[in-house]
Structure 1
């Protein structure tokens, strides 16, 4: 799936039909933030987080966007809980994990644990 197609899918899930540059920019920023969040904590490999080929990763990004989009979002807590649940599920599955999670170096020492 291309980035443009995924953007359109997220936008559709948010029930947005406008082509307002500000709204499109917010959606793009949220997608980027969700992808980075999945990668930075070692939930998924960087390539997987940014390619969005796995259905679970896609659903996590969509849930993140639904939780964070807009100012008056009554369902924000529900979608954030869904995102955290998916993120936690993904982090327990070795085929999605980033190399960052397998690092056994003790912080600030350089010693191998």
Structure 2
């Protein structure tokens, strides 16, 4: 399930900078249906940052949405993740385990991509 298919998994946009304007533009391009979720997360992060007197919630927001973009900008990767997420609901324990591994592999790779920036 973790086989790469580079010919079907070329990024449709470059990886954006981890800034609010760049991430907003990227999410609009690769996952426009998730913009309301992003704006809700943004509001929560800014409120939390104000309450804590810390920029950490904002940095975590940028990292989270960077990971989302890292996945969604590669259509094949996004398809594999979404298929794995659906397969987790399978009643087949082996299928569930494969799906969990696949999703974990994809998300970890996206986190590495964002960290390596």
Same structural fold, with TM-score higher than 0.5 when normalized by the shorter chain = no
TM-score normalized by the length of structure 1: 0.35
TM-score normalized by the length of structure 2: 0.34
Point out the structure with the larger helix share.
2
